[in-house]
Structure 1
Amino acid sequence: MRGHCPYIPMPRGFLYLVAVLDWYSRYVLAWRLSNTMDALFCLEALEMALGRGEPVIFNTDQGAQFTSQEWLAPLQKRDILISMDGRGQALDNVFVERLWRTVKYEDIYLRDYQTVPDLEIGLDDYFQFYNEERPHSALDHQTPAEVHWATQPETEA
């Protein structure tokens, strides 16, 4: 899993977006918006993502919200290995950077959201489309959902 926070320009200021991405399938497990760069909205996305499965390794950049004890504690409690990108290592987060580029060019810049509620609704719709309908060449033209759910262990009834 991978977490990262870019900013989204709005008519008055900007918002931060965090998303938790399954690197293998490119499936967006969880996302949240905030007008501050604190750890709370990141923790909400983390808890939602961990409710859908626990990775062996969780990777982030070295932002303050990802190096805080509040962020690290839930990962350590579950014995999840923690990996952080090296400073200046652009290729460490290539999958997430590609996601941000895709979201911005296929949705945010085209829709020019004027309000936070409109942005939240729009992103919810977009991430559903991204996961369920948008094929990826890196996934042999399958959707992230097709790859993600095909690799999940079956549960007993």
Structure 2
Amino acid sequence: MALFKEYHAKYPSHGYRWLNAKIRLDTGLKMSDQYAHKCCKTAGIMSISKHYRYKKPGDPFKVYPNLMATGLNITGPLQCITSDMTAFRLKGGYYELTLYMDLWNNEILSYSLSGRKGDRMTYISGLKDLISIKQKYPGLEMILHTDQGSVYASKDFNELLPLYNIVHSMSRAGTPTDNAAMEAINGWIKTEMFTDLHITSNENIENEIKEYITFFNEERPAYSLNYLTPKQYKEYYAQF
């Protein structure tokens, strides 16, 4: 038990099976997993990490390759779109905002807001609005990069993409840096909405969000665009 406590102090994210294997590797001491479990249970040792659940074969959820890791050369609009959901509370209300952003000029192309936790339709509604834009350019191959959220990985979501020449790319599990641009924007959005634009009421939250998206796309200079707005950048450099 003292040995398990020592190893758990070093590796608190792991459970009894991993600790047992590590002790065996380091010391040569062999114990059964059942005995290791008894020792850890008696000592109150538990993994402090949340682990992803295994998806059995035939599960409709699917993980797609991370195309962002291949060093994409984004040279124009609509080549690579990234999406994520950010949640916030306002005056006792809970909201989820799903965004679809063009990585070329950081323009928010579509979005959807819901006052219900876990509302999958915010993802689907935003995707349908994105598809409406994509349909104007049927020959353009678009990459859509997301995390491994259950809606993004669902069959319903992914069945739509190939119909419109959209290729799905996914971040690695538990690796938000794979979608760093979207993660940064999520942080800025909440700061600007409440600190700069002083959104304090949920009575007209839909209009407030709409006005903020317009501000973000047309009035907000972006450091990554040499302090042009997304709209200005597209007007100057897009070659459609």
TM-score tier (shorter): 0.7 to 0.9
Aligned-pair distance for 1:109?
A: 4.9
Match of 1:48 in 2: 129
Match of 2:234 in 1: 148
Unaligned ranges ≥5, structure 2: 1-80, 135-139
The structure whose residues are more often strand, as a share, is: 1
Unaligned ranges ≥5, structure 1: none
Deviations 1:6-29 (A, max 9, x none): 111133341111010001110000
Runs of 4+ in 1 over 4 A off after TM superposition: none
- The root-mean-square deviation of aligned C-alpha atoms, in Å, is 1.8
DSSP-derived class of the 2:118 partner: coil
Structure 1 residue 37 corresponds to structure 2 residue 124: no
Larger Rg: 2
Structure 1 residue 18 corresponds to structure 2 residue 98: yes
Match of 1:27 in 2: 107
DSSP-derived class of the 1:65 partner: coil
Match of 2:201 in 1: 114
> Which residue identity is paired with 1:105?
T
Choose the corresponding residue for 2:185, options 93, 96, 99.
99
Q: Which has the higher contact order (CA 8 A, sep 6+)?
A: 1
Conserved 8 A contact 1:132-1:145: yes
Instruction: Report the Cα distance in structure 2 between the residues aligned to 1:25 and 1:90, rounded to whole angstroms.
Output: 20
Range with bigger deviation, 102-111 or 16-25:
102-111
Instruction: Report the Cα distance in structure 1 between the residues aligned to 2:141 and 2:101, rounded to whole angstroms.
Output: 11
Instruction: Report the Cα distance in structure 2 between the residues aligned to 1:143 and 1:113, rounded to whole angstroms.
Output: 25
Choose the corresponding residue for 1:125, options 211, 230, 233.
211
Q: State the percentage of identical aligned residues.
A: 24
Range with bigger deviation, 104-113 or 82-91:
104-113
Aligned-pair distance for 1:49?
A: 1.6
